Chain A
């Protein structure tokens, strides 16, 4: 009965482990232990007693190879080798003995104690491993290491007393069962990543991200580094360079779509959990990308609010200026003209009429200038190409005009495009110290591209010149973009892209 339980538990769990982790040697090793145990039982019946203890060697190797399936240090490898030698000792002894000559007789006599010492060494190695393990490692290997300790402990006790053999046999299935528990644990860890995604969605804060990752990976020392394109390196949440990675930690890169996003500095033990780590990395990438998008959105929103405020302010001050111009100029002049005509009505002074006419004409001129400032009449009459031609015709510098758009632009877009050219031209005339400029206006897909280039002095600052800044706001309000490039000594290029779906 005990035999069936031991063999079945080792073989079954071995199969499961092999299936779940094909590259980990624990599965095959565990199956080998189960089969060797069966062989041991059979060997007693068929008399092949030399292979009877083979399972013990395999078990020794399994215990030290937990949980990776590899023997990681030379001590471990030496111990396992010793175990196999001790197990094969009777066979070697039988093969080398001839008559009375027995070179291994002494070893055979002490075999019991050698085995005891060896199993004690196994016990110590495992206790040392446990004490040196990081929190993350302990958590991962706790059940299986515990079961190994129990089995090894019982084996140690069994050697001098020979009384605990049944207990040992009963304890053996603990190893595969605990290993299975570990596997289930890891599955649950991975399921925990789903919770991580949900929690990160709630609070997409970079500092929280590290805490949440630490909890999900059960690695309190986990660190995140964020890719900083400006530095061409990874930085921590405060923007400082990442500290050097300690020997017991490893770095996993988090990329998304070929772009570097972050690095995860975590416990070496997590290398045994590639699925968990990659799931956590994917969740991190999602959260960071989300955070990036939100930051983008917030900054756009801030810019939008600011530019809207500037536009409202500009419109308001424009209206105030207009009111003042109308009040101080047009109204006063017309009043004066009316008064002159009133006086002329009752007298015979011809000069009064002439003066009144002059005043009315001056008012007309002033109104004309005002209208020009509000909206260029030529834009109303002739659209963008005609207005630009007029601009070129009256400009004091030579304007090389290349306008390949016809009709079909909305009046708003035409107006903004016109002011881009007019303002850039005014700047060029005032500051560039040049006799020539080029203007290109054409459609590129759904965008209207307006480009004004001079080969003058350069060095125009779109932030200091309120004209260019106001222009950028107007362009942005239409959903477009204005770029001013003006290297000192290499001319100025003002380029505006405007949406022009028609």
Chain B
């Protein structure tokens, strides 16, 4: 899987490149700003771009804006946005064109090499990877007077969270150490209780869940 890395901190950039290379990725380009990212993507057409949000010259939201450009200009390239902070509003922006090939994670996640590389691979394959912190914020705010999650069991809530993060049923079953069939049953129950229509594609499922949480 071919990867482009856009990160202005040299230390982190080299660390990421080494980590991904060791995990079997083909790191085709490492750049330090948004313009470099767009140029490298144009030249290499990678499977996935790993993008830092704050980059020169203004160090505000260059990476986020570049990510949106990539999403519309190169639909076949997955975009995984990394940041020191995760924001619900940024998630909404990133998901505007659907949940396929989108990732948004805290930088801290690179410390768990297995989880992180799995997320990069998922995004490169057209799936999604959302940070548990964002999903947690969405689930926690409970805006509606009646608690929509009151009817869910604890296990169902856990599954809902993992689903929103973009994990496949198999990944969830491995994570929870249960059979995949059990996860499927949980999903059906959740969708039924929340009044959502189930979808065969994992990324559509993510979008449905997020839209529900965001309503």
Contact = CB atoms under 8 A, between A and B. Distances in A.
Given A372-B85, A390-B89, A380 B143 contact: no
Given A386-B89, A389-B89, A361 B111 contact: yes
Contacts of A397: 143
Interface range for A: 20 to 34
Nearest to B87: A390
A394 interface: yes
B111 A357 contact: yes
A420 B86 CA distance: 23
B205 interface: no
A361 B110 CA distance: 10
Nearest to B145: A435
A390 B137 CA distance: 11
B143 A435 contact: yes
The listed residue with most A CB atoms (<10 A of its CB), out of B89, B90, B111, is B89
Instruction: Say whether chain A's binding surface is mostly helix, strand, loop, or mixed.
Output: helix
Interface of A: 357, 360-361, 364-365, 368, 371-372, 377-378, 380-382, 386, 389-390, 393-398, 435
B164 interface: no
Contacts of B87: 378, 390, 393
Interface stretch (B29-37, B53-61, B95-103, B154-162): B53-61
The listed residue with most B CB atoms (<10 A of its CB), out of A365, A372, A386, A395, is A386
B60 A394 contact: no
A381 B53 contact: yes
Given A368-B85, A390-B87, A393-B89, A380 B60 contact: yes
Given A361-B111, A394-B137, A396-B140, A378 B145 contact: no
Interface in B158-198: none
Please list the 3 inter-chain residue pairs (A to B) with the smallest Cβ-Cβ separation, ordered nearest first: A393-B88, A381-B61, A390-B89
Interface residues of B, number: 23
Given A378-B87, A386-B89, 17 more contacts: A364-B108, A368-B84, A380-B59, A380-B60, A381-B60, A381-B64, A382-B61, A386-B61, A390-B87, A393-B214, A394-B88, A396-B140, A396-B141, A396-B143, A397-B143, A435-B143, A435-B145
Contacts of B85: 368, 372, 377-378
A357 B115 CA distance: 15
A394 B85 CA distance: 13
Contacts of A380: 59-60
B92 interface: yes
Contacts of A394: 88, 137, 141
A200 B23 CA distance: 88
A298 to B, nearest CB: 44
Given A378-B87, A435-B143, A393 B92 contact: yes
Contacts of A365: 108
A113 B207 CA distance: 127
A216 to B, nearest CB: 68
Contacts of B64: 381
B56 to A, nearest CB: 14
B142 interface: yes
